[in-house]
Amino acid sequence: MYESETFDVVAAKRAFAQRHALRRDRLLALVGQAQEDFCRIIDMLVRDYHPRRIYQWGSLLHPERFQDISDIDIAVEGWEDPMTGLHALDTACQMTGFPV
């Protein structure tokens, strides 16, 4: 015969809350790093590539939506030569560990 096991709901709720808090803290640290990287990338784009406009969208504008798989969303306007964009993208990618 099997002994009847009891499920401790209070302990389960506590464990869930702890896991949730750890995940939230980790994501807040990640979004903070992504925002810092975004600012450095924008500074570099303005200083070195002089775009007419820069656009941002995505989870960096809504940190509560930021996830482990989030990226840094940037679009630029005003470059005549496509190679300028490729060089700028290469430089931006080297400045962060997040996909750009």
Nearest in space to 42 (alpha carbons), one of 18, 82, 81, 74: 74
If one compares 88 and 68, the residue with the highest pLDDT of the two is: 88
pLDDT tens-place string over residues 17-27: 999 999 989 99
> Max Cα separation, the chain?
78
Helical segments of 1-100, H only = 9-49, 82-94
Q: d(Cα 4, Cα 59) in Å, to the nearest integer?
A: 47
Please indicate, yes or no, whether the overall pTM of this predicted structure exceeds 0.85: no
What is the structure's pLDDT at 5?
A: 80
pLDDT tens-place string over residues 2-48: 666 889 999 999 999 999 999 989 998 999 999 999 999 999 999 99
User: 86 falls in which pLDDT band (50, 70, 90)?
Assistant: very high
Nearest in space to 91 (alpha carbons), one of 59, 56, 58, 43: 43
